[in-house]
Amino acid sequence: MKLLEAGFLPTSSQYLHEKLKYVISKECEKVCDKLHISIAKSSTMICIADELGILDEDEVSIQFGKPFLDEETGRYSSYIEGDVLVARVLGSFIFIV
């Protein structure tokens, strides 16, 4: 702040430019963290095509590397059976049970 008050500009001072860039970057990270919205029973996944044709139309296969607790049954599971909503968001696919 003192460098700015003394008349230095980020365009002419490499040191001030790097410091200002760092501060702005950290503030942007804080804003992005606050904008993250968690959705219960949702996850991000990587999708691949069913090249073998095993699944029927409107079917997806979802399996997890680590079992999760199904709150409805109270049991751990590594897959989902039943209806799911799959959506593409900002270059990613998400699903909601």
What residue ranges in the chain does DSSP mark as E strands? 42-45, 63-70, 75-79, 85-89, 92-96
Q: Which residue range forms the structural domain that includes residue 11? A: 2-35
Considering the domain architecture, whether residues 26 and 61 belong to the same structural domain is answered as no
CA distance linking residue 85 with residue 97, whole number of Å: 6
Considering the domain architecture, whether residues 26 and 57 belong to the same structural domain is answered as no
Considering the domain architecture, whether residues 20 and 55 belong to the same structural domain is answered as no
Considering the domain architecture, whether residues 86 and 49 belong to the same structural domain is answered as yes
pLDDT of 79 reads 79
Considering the domain architecture, whether residues 84 and 48 belong to the same structural domain is answered as yes
Considering the domain architecture, whether residues 46 and 16 belong to the same structural domain is answered as no
Considering the domain architecture, whether residues 19 and 59 belong to the same structural domain is answered as no
pLDDT of 11 reads 87
pLDDT tens string 57-82: 888 887 777 888 877 888 888 877 78
Place of tokens 């049954």: 73
**Residues of the chain with confidence (pLDDT) below 70:** 1, 41, 44, 88-97
Count up the domains in the chain and report the number.
Answer: 2
> pTM of the entire structure?
0.40
Alpha helices in the chain (DSSP H): 2-5, 14-35
The gap from C-alpha 66 to its chain's centroid, in whole angstroms, comes to: 18
% residues pLDDT > 70 (the chain) = 86
